[in-house]
Structure 1
Amino acid sequence: MNWNNKISKVAVIAYTKMTAQFYASQLKKLFKENISLEVYSVEDSNLTSIVCDLIIASTYSIYEIVKTYVSNYDDIVIADITLTKDSLEKLRQIPTGTNAMLVNTTLEMAVETIALIYNSGITHINMFPVYPTISTIPPYDLAITPGEASLAPPSVNNIIDIGNRVLSMRTIIDIAVRLNLDDMLKNEEFQSCFGLLAQSDVGLERLWEQVSVLEKKLDLIMQIFDGGILLLNYGGNISFINKSAEKMLSIDKKLIIGAKLKDVLSEFYDSLVASLEIAQKDKIITFNSRLLSLSFYPLFDGAEALGTIILIREFTDMEKEQHKIRKQIIAKGHIAKYSFNDIAGKSKQMEMLKETAKKMALSDSSILICGESGTGKELFAQSIHNSSNRRNEPFIAINCASIPENLLESELFGYSEGAFTGAKKGGKLGYFEQAHKGTLFLDEISEMDLHLQSRLLRVLQEKEVIRIGGDSVINIDVRIISATNRNLKALIKQGKFRQDLYYRLNVLSINIPPLRQRKDDIPLLIEQLKERFHSTFKITKEAMELIKNCMWEGNVRELGNFVERLTCLDVDEVDIDIVRQFIDENEYFKPTLKDEENKLFLSLINQKHTNLKNYYSILKLLEINKKSGVKLGRRSISELLQKEGLIISPQEVRTILKNLESLNMVNILLGRSGTEITEFGIKACELLGEKYNSI
């Protein structure tokens, strides 16, 4: 967490744009919203005057170039590059004395990689640099490469890809300290990252120096923190108490340090919970005739329990009022009713999606849920809330399309007394205030007008609201989950949705597949719907196959209507003839295009007829891999098509993907994240496969 609430501006500079983007993505994954990144590369010649809080130069030679574009050399960090443990393990398996090529983009990069491998302790292989412009290729059958397998000579039969070189632990720590973000180094993401890196010279003296600084900062924070802090070791003995806690508990530190909490403060201990190994937030207790709000968190080093930290605050009148309001909100029904157990679906896609959503629930980051109408976006939103640490707080859902624009603003932000004609006496709480400590679900976020989008962006950035007609700033703690059935990137291009808001909402994302992409879930959904309607009818095998092969453009909502119709028939068995009474096969078995989609599809047919086979093949490959959750880059697409006998170079693939993106059939993701096919792209692929099956 960035205690200064300042987003640091960081520039990453390398010889190639791809390398700079890779290092930038590594930093973004670690530092998240605390930094904004700019990417520069020598090959793009886009170096200009650089004004940033910190500049990361990929090599010393890059540092020499960058110096001419900055005013302060101290703002430049020369990156130390390392390999992952998995990469080194691959190399250790190679027999001693083996001759191998080291394939990279340039001679300099190849030599650097060889030096890096040798410095990591791998010295039993004889490696020779190979790069695209080399005149004589060594006669070896093994190629080792850091993510550049496509550059290996055709004569090589054995390629070992050790993956991209990554920023070392020393470099990451250096960046965190320079940006005053060293408090983040104990986060799970950093610890996980450090665990994957190969052990190299990380500057232990400097590392211990930083640990010492962190300990001094922590001690200072605990002493000046306005609330009380109590630290227990694993055995339940008190190891630290600050002055505020002494005052609140009416106890002298000298009398309790080293003693067990339950022995010296038995009444306080009994007011907690049966186990201090379970985290809990804002528990209200009465102690010495005072209302106290307690939050306690177990401390772990990996799987080893270290103790517990207890935060103590006075429960003020304002907090009493907020507590009362939250109770009223829950009484009004602003709660999440559903959990992941209520989401029917045993397909691989849904199982993976639910597991991903469960992990996202543990975070407080904003989530964007995408999916067609009727796929269950609110069901996922409620399940995420009920699996989060906010499960005991309000869950408020609001449909941005169902409330008029002028009313939506007052509903979200509230208003003060006299703000406008007809305003209630005393004003009104907005949904943000009502959802304090809980979750606010904004459905159909794409329908929110630009003015409200600006206000929402400010709330997400500042974590505070001002009521309409008011002048008081109200701090809020709300997790935002938003949902849409539209392509927000397309709306950004049309100027109908703010790009900065999109990236604030889309910190984490879930894409719920439509029913036609998970047909095996349909029988399970039907059984669940039958229970809702108290139905007992059975469906024949032939009828079920017909139902499974329908398009179900309304998804689960449309399927529910269908089961309700069957229930009204009051029959024991539903056969294929009965199903056909309610299904227009001509309508259901072919993808239907909207007017705008039809224009784009015809544009593809008319303009790309000479190499339509290439377009179809790429769309089909993306569709197949989407079902397994894999996103492909242009090199991977080129290699996979080549195995099928279709020769399309990575450059040609890139051009085709750009054209498909302009037609809204694919989304090209940032960096090396690959490309994903859109729902419209899937429809277009199906129509191409039917109409041009001979291409």
Structure 2
Amino acid sequence: MTKKVAVITLGKHVSTFYENIIKSLFGDLVSISSYSVLNGSINNIDNADVFVVTTDAFEDINDYKKYLPADTPKVELNVEFTKKNIEALMKVPKGTCAYFVNLSEIMVRECIARLSQLGINHINLVPCFPGAKLAKECGLAITVGESRYVPETVKNIIDLGHRVPDSNTVVEMALRLKLDYLLERENFKEYFNSIASSNYNFNQIFDRSLNMESQFEILMEIIDAGIIGVNESDVIYACNSKAVEITGINKVQAIQTQVKSTFPFLPIYECRQTGKKITNRLVKFKGVDINVTVAPVIRRNEYIGAFATIQRFTEEESKQQNLRIQLLNKGHKAKYTFDDIIGESDTVKKACAIAKKMAANNSAVLITGESGTGKELFAHAIHNESDRKNNPFIAINCAAMPDNLLESELFGYEEGSFTGAKKGGKLGLFEFAHKGSIFLDEVEGMSPALQIKLLRVIQEREIMRVGGNTIISVDVRIIAASNENLEKLVTKGVFRSDLYYRLNTLPIQIPPLRDRGEDIMILLEDIKKKLNGQFELSPQVKNAFMVHDWNGNVRELHNYIEYLTYLDKDYIEYEDLPVSFHKGLNIKPKIHENDLDVNLLKKISGNKLDDYCFVLEMLYNGYVKQTTMGRNSIAEHAKSLGRFLTQQEIRSILYDLNNLGLIKMSHGRGGTKINEKGIKVYNNLKAN
């Protein structure tokens, strides 16, 4: 809304000058009308929001009452020289005689006195005004926009122009018009800086006031909560952007209104009556749950207003969760998605499809599978596929720490609950995982007591810290994993049946690597790429990898690839594989035990069964490498492993195995080879 300003001067000629200055400062926010006492336009003055009156316009107070409404704000227009005026006069040579020309003697002497205060004492200023008797002749005249009164004999004139409104006048105008927020704008700062004022104290206090107000505004905006300030009459004078966002009430609509009509949900009246702070009061406004705190402002034991902070309940809960994560000092986020699960086999694709469907649910998930199959990888992927993906994912191995330590880690503890407890206590992982997921690996490692506490978390969504007596609500999805058969553990009484059925709501079985076929080679190439391995595998090694037991699953495969990478060889032969790998070879033919003549072999070998098994193993390894084995090579392997077998002993064993139909002996370079029956016997012996 445009504010009306009336400028009243003695003569009309100076009013336009003041109009232009006011317009340059306040712009389109004001409309200006000018009135003169001398030309009589003052008799037709209209109403305005503020009247700006020059000091020479009226001779006494009665003129104010005669022409101006009594209830309208008035500002006395005091004028001041500019810095440019002073700079121009400083260039005048010292001792120069100069007339100072103005409209009246009073105005001349006031100007000369003011110039003296501003440091212009090097010029001999002679008063000059209409009707003045000039006792001294000067060759220079100085005036403030009144050149018409300069004596005709003087040709050298310095016209400083009309003096400008001083700082006090401009600030008072802004306050009267309720446009004081404009004072921080650059054009106002430049204007104040242009004035040759020696009013140091005013400038300091004014600058300090502006700085404090500016800092207050900045503080209001950076606080992550709605702020509403009221005075002693409950009138709103402050309202930040966050409060506007939460309530939907415009700042302009709120300022200068009664708080009970604009924000009726704020307990300001109660705060004023009691003089006490009101904290964490949950109210509803326009269907939104809002947490309200109101603090009184007391000065000299008197209530002078209050500040209210408001925040959406959901935002506050989210902020608390972010603070929990900062306290934990870890970025607990799930690292992997289903895209990180490598494999093309039907078994792994089926497991992924089931896991994706379960991710959309909030029920507990139980992931089972052998060690090293990637249970934690699936847990990460399930979390990232769920609605909780933007919240914490915390993983902990339940079998990796003592029972009492695991309890304090999961549930937290209060101060002084046990020797060595941190001052102030500690939040548990369930609290940190609020709104997210917690992965409990090797869950079978929990004691029966902890199993009961975990069951309560699943059923009631509540925890209690160690040594505490307060119930804390948590919203956590539990993803558990085990490489044991939990059903057998339940039968043995080691694992609680009620907890098992709670965890087993959404079961996922991760297939072992040996059942994933060509995935072995796909995973091998992926791991090799990540480790920057540059080697190639021989056909014998590839065949060995395909028939390996992989009891350690993907983790074991990773270890072997890492080992082969460090060998720094371009081509990997069977002999390059580590000793531990050979112990895991197994073709696992699908045969029945009664087809194997194991008992006969045991009877023939007697107490030398271990030697017979060793020879069978050497022949089996030769089969895998697709090479023949003779007595010499078997003897050399035995010697390298610390096993002492003579060639004669090896020859005797080979004859026995040949007679049992387990091997085929050939003379010359044909060597000796294990046959299908021998492989079956070897596998049966190894399995037992």
Shorter-chain TM-score tier: 0.3 to 0.5
Larger Rg over CA atoms: 2
